[in-house]
Amino acid sequence: MLAAFLVAAAFASLPPDAPRGAGLDVYTSYCASCHGADLRGGPKGPSLRGVGAAGADFWVSTGRMPAAVPWLQVAHRGQQPYLTPEQQDLVVRYVASAAPGPPIPRVIANGDRERGRALFEQNCMHCHGADMRGGSIGRVDWAPSLDRATVTQVAEAIRIGPGQMPRFSAHQIDGAALDDVATYLTSMRGSTHFVGFPIRAGGAVPEGLYGWLAAAALAFFAFAFWSGDEKRDT
Ligand code: HEC
Ligand code: HEC
């Protein structure tokens, strides 16, 4: 009864062209149990008021939402988005119309790469790491690797500041700067920074490990050559 009233209230606040039916269906099936029929949240999830299209698209397209279990491990990117692209589009438009907020930023990856690098070093590197593999930012918090985020997700993360990440306003990083950062990040994708052993932990220990592996390989080859010479000599 109350739920029906809240749904009706949510309806009433929608602009006339909002995709009520299908978008509301996806929201009701996959989101309302935690975020509430009125998007105001509850014990299982926060309010979505003000997240806008940028927030909804980021959390859904990166597979963070819909969470399987409330609060547990939701601050992680899923392997795949759980919803189909069509469902994502519908629910993002529904959330954006019922809980207005920042739009999905428009971003193109043909900006100034060098400026992008400088912006990254200044604003992002201390958390996501010079190699963008991510790293620890406190006792339990973790900044993820940036090897999978799309250009749009990068721009959304900058604007909404998910989880422990700060939000950057247009005064701090303007539209052109968004393009520059996106350009730099995508240009790094193909570089050696993301090639290597799939050791996800990052930091000093695995890097030391690479050193040891390299040293061991060198020693092995040195030995192989040396013993080869030995045989030829005799
Ligand atoms: C099982 C419960 C659950 C379900 C289902 C769920 N969410 Fe969430 N959602 C959460 C929790 C808990 C958080 C807070 C995560 C955090 O802060 O790390 C959250 C966070 C979010 C945020 C970020 C809010 C903010 O203030 O930054 C958005 C946007 C969001 N969810 C959208 C959705 C959408 C859209 C759906 C449906 C497709 C959905 N969620 C389904 C529990 C859920
Ligand atoms: C204070 C540390 C911090 C800073 C500074 C920071 N981030 Fe983040 N970033 C995080 C954390 C933590 C998350 C994960 C948030 C979550 O899922 O709850 C994240 C998530 C992201 C994601 C989503 C990655 C994915 O695939 O899911 C992107 C993209 C991103 N950050 C880009 C940036 C960029 C670009 C900058 C600089 C303009 C930046 N971040 C600055 C901590 C930080």
- Predicted local distance difference test score (pLDDT) of residue 189: 77
Band the pLDDT of 84: cuts 50, 70, 90: very high
Give, using CA atoms, the residue closest to atom 5 of ligand 2. Answer: 124
- Locus of tokens 């390989």: 217
| 94 touches ligand 1 (CB under 6 Å) | no
48-62, 93-107, 190-204: range with lowest mean pLDDT: 190-204
Q: How many CB atoms lie within 10 A of CB 9?
A: 12
| 59 touches ligand 1 (CB under 6 Å) | yes
| 83 touches ligand 2 (CB under 6 Å) | no
Question: How far is Cα 88 from Cα 31, in angstroms, rounded to an integer?
Answer: 12
Question: How far is Cα 143 from Cα 66, in angstroms, rounded to an integer?
Answer: 20
Task: Please say if the pLDDT value at position 74 is more than 50.
Answer: yes
Do residues 12 and 1 lie in contact, with contact meaning Cβ atoms separated by under 8 Å?
no
pLDDT above 90: percentage of residues in the chain: 55
Average pLDDT of the chain to the nearest whole number: 81
Question: How far is Cα 91 from Cα 209, in angstroms, rounded to an integer?
Answer: 45
Band the pLDDT of 211: cuts 50, 70, 90: low
Q: How far is the CA of 157 from the centre of ligand 2 (A)?
A: 6
End-to-end CA distance of the chain: 94
Task: Please say if the pLDDT value at position 174 is more than 70.
Answer: yes
Backbone CA torsion sign across 46, 51, 57, 58: negative
Minimum-distance ligand 1 atom for the alpha carbon of 33: 5
